[in-house]
Structure 1
Amino acid sequence: MKMTGNTILITGGGSGIGAALAQRFAALGNEVIIAGRREAALQKTCAGHPNMHFMVLDASNPQAIDKFAHELVQAYPKLNVLINNAGIMRFEDLSKKRDLHDAEETVETNLLGPIRLTNALVEHLEHQPDAVIINVTSGLAFVPLVSTPTYNATKAAIHSYTDSLREALKGKVEVLELAPPAVQTGLTPGQEKLEGYMPLKDFIDEVMTLLAKTPTPREILVKNVEPLRFAERNGQYDETLAHLNDFVARQRGNK
């Protein structure tokens, strides 16, 4: 991936990983557009960065995505990088019948959102130099956190979708997957302060180093996520599953 001179769209750019990536890419000389639901958060992320811009987008709304994509390309015709980062994580109890609103909203945002936005922009990106699509998944795509089942499932689905997209766009658009471990962000309440979660700055430092490699790895995996990504390959799936769920329960005071 070329690290400077791009025009980059990052969804979910108002906070957390999306905001940190946006500011790092802007500092390298890229023009960066961030998108998300909360205008105030987007404005705050862009403040002090003249080459950063924002557009409001609800990634769970298919009509809004089509309109957004049209307006985006009109305003930024040199757009050549799409980072599908927007996502939500909800806790669910699978042991009892429940309202499925959280599960359905998670599928709309985490799975259908990236698919719809990629679909809306793919023909534009195919004709841009140095075009890249980065889909943000999760270590939980490979070993699940039992209390966030739909989140895990959407990330596993995006992992598979990314593999297909990479083959379909071979020679036209570089397709990468970024799979974070547990990072100190506001993805869930109180997560910014949980011990044992990777500090956001350390995560972004390692990610930017990996993205700058030649050739860029097709999966961007910081060291902290490797135990999850390779648990099954290494014959450690059951052990890793138990350790992961025990660790998170202890961090959140559930044990």
Structure 2
Amino acid sequence: MLDPMNTIFIPGATSGIGLGLALRLQAKGNTVIVGGRRTGLLKQIAAEHPGIDTVSIDTTGPASITAARDELANRYPALDTLITMAGIMEPEDLLDPASLDVAERTVAVNLLGPIRLINAFLPGLLAQPSATVMTVSSGLAYVPLPATPTYNATKAAIHSFTESLRVQLHKSSVRVIELVPPATRTTLMNQQNSEVAMPLDDFLDEVMTLLEADDQAEQILVERVKWQRNAVAEGRYADVLGVLSGRYRS
């Protein structure tokens, strides 16, 4: 993925980890296309970051995904990398009937979105000599944050889906990688100034180092996320869940 010959599409990269990763990958010489719903923001990104291209896409809409795929197939026939970055994270009070709206919205963006993207783009990726799909799960796929139950569930599902995808594609030219972020200082859940979240630049530095160090890695795990990722194997699950429960309890 750090090869400057790659052509990379990152839907959901208009801010935070997605945009930061797009800029880092472009700096390595890759061709990078950022996707998002807000055309005004896409124009701003293109103006502020010369060389970054953009395409309009709503990952909750099958027709929008198909249109973006077809547009990119014409503009970038060598597209060989898909990073399914789009995601939302909202608190839910499961005692409130209105929480169902949050749950359904979260499933549409965080789970159905990546599945639909992979389904749409996979034939084109399989036609390339080599290609990559990177999914984005979370440390919360391994130990949940009780304040965001559906977010946790979608990220656990993305982890499981990624494992199956990798096995099914093992004889193909498509490599499958799972990026597993910890809490990171972005606007997701208003964590941009959180002392318990990892600074965004530190996260991106470590991710790029890991990508460069092991071109066969199946998961990209910064040190900060291993506290959650390895909790079960190391017998710490109850303790980690207790911390995550207490940190956000009122």
TM-score tier (shorter): over 0.9
Distance 1:99 1:238, change over 3 A: closer
Distance 1:45 1:216 in 2: 31
SS in 2 for 1:100: helix
Query: Structure 1 CA distance, aligned partners of 2:107 and 2:222?
Result: 26
CA contact (8 A) 1:2 1:130 kept: no
Task: Give the letter for the 1:186 counterpart.
Answer: T
Calculate the TM-score normalised by the size of structure 2. 0.95
Q: In the superposition, relative to structure 1, how do residues 234 and 91 fare at CA in structure 2: closer, same or farther (>3 Å)? A: same
Tell me if structure 2 keeps the 8 A contact 1:137–1:178: yes
**Contact residue 11 and residue 86 of structure 1 kept, 8 A:** yes
> Contact 1:92 / 1:149 at 8 angstroms: preserved in 2?
yes
Q: Which amino acid aligns with 1:129?
A: P
One-letter amino acid of the counterpart of residue 16, structure 2: G
- Deviation of 1:50 after TM superposition, in Å, equals 3.3
Q: CA deviation at 1:57?
A: 0.9
What is the TM-score of this pair, normalised by structure 1?
A: 0.93
2:222 pairs with 1:228: no
| Structure 2 residue 184 is matched with structure 1 residue 183 | yes
CA distance in 1, matches of 2:90, 2:113: 16
Q: Distance in 2 between matches of 1:186 and 1:75?
A: 31
Matches within 5 A, 1:50-65: 50-65=50-65
SS at match of 2:178: strand
**Distance in structure 2 (CA, Å) of the matches to 1:13 and 1:96:** 31
Q: SS of 1:165's equivalent?
A: helix
Deviation for aligned residue 1:148: 0.6
Matches of 2:99 and 2:187, distance apart in 1: 24
Preserved CA contact (<8 Å) 1:181 1:225: yes
8 Å CA contact 2:92, 2:99 repeated in 1: no
Structural RMSD (CA): 1.4
* Matched letter for residue 139 of structure 2: G
CA contact (8 A) 2:137 2:178 kept: yes
The alpha carbon displacement at 1:149 in A equals 0.7
Question: What whole-Å deviation, never above 9, does each CA across 1:33-61 have from its counterpart, x for those lacking one?
Answer: 00011223323333343321001111111
- How many angstroms apart in 2 are the aligned matches of 1:195 and 1:214? 30
Gaps of 5+ in 1: none
Determine the C-alpha separation between the residues in 2 that align with 1:218 and 1:95: 38
1:172 match: 173
TM-superposed CA distance for 1:98, in Å, is 3.0
Gaps of 5+ in 2: none
Report the counterpart of residue 85 of structure 2 in structure 1.
85
The one-letter amino acid of 1:38's match is R
For residue 4 of structure 2, what is the amino acid of its counterpart? T
The corresponding residue for 1:68 is 68
